[in-house]
Amino acid sequence: MEKNAQLLKLLGDKTRLTIVRLLSYSECCVCEFVEIFQMSQPAISQHMKKLKDAGVVKEKRKGQWIFYSLNEHADQYAYLQTILKDLPDLHFLIEDLDQKGKRISCC
């Protein structure tokens, strides 16, 4: 119960909940989240650190860039999927990055 409460508290932040929803579609780097949320890189990085420390996301380095994805090996991954299935479809935010040519701008 404690782990579930911690996950819900972590996802109680709208930005982190949206980040996790976007990561359910594909991996992303911080620069893509900066564009989507119109927030500073340090602010996004703090959100990513909290998600990573909780084991919700994992990172993969590609050159100088770090790409994040959902951690499918996390203890609460199945519970997270249950939460995500009831969230609105936000795939259009990723598509919008593609259309603007900013999806791979950091690579």
Contact 62, 28 (CB under 8 A): no
* CB-count burial class (<10 Å; 0-12, 13-18, 19+) for 41: exposed
Spelled out in words, what is the top-level CATH class assigned to the domain 1-96? mainly alpha
Alpha carbon distance 70, 56 (integer Å):
6
Q: What is the pLDDT of residues 35-75, one digit of tens each?
A: 999 999 999 999 999 999 999 999 999 888 889 999 999 98
- The beta-strand segments (E) located in 1-107 are 28-29, 57-62, 65-70
Position 13 confidence tier, pLDDT thresholds 50, 70, 90: very high
Q: What is the pTM of this model?
A: 0.91
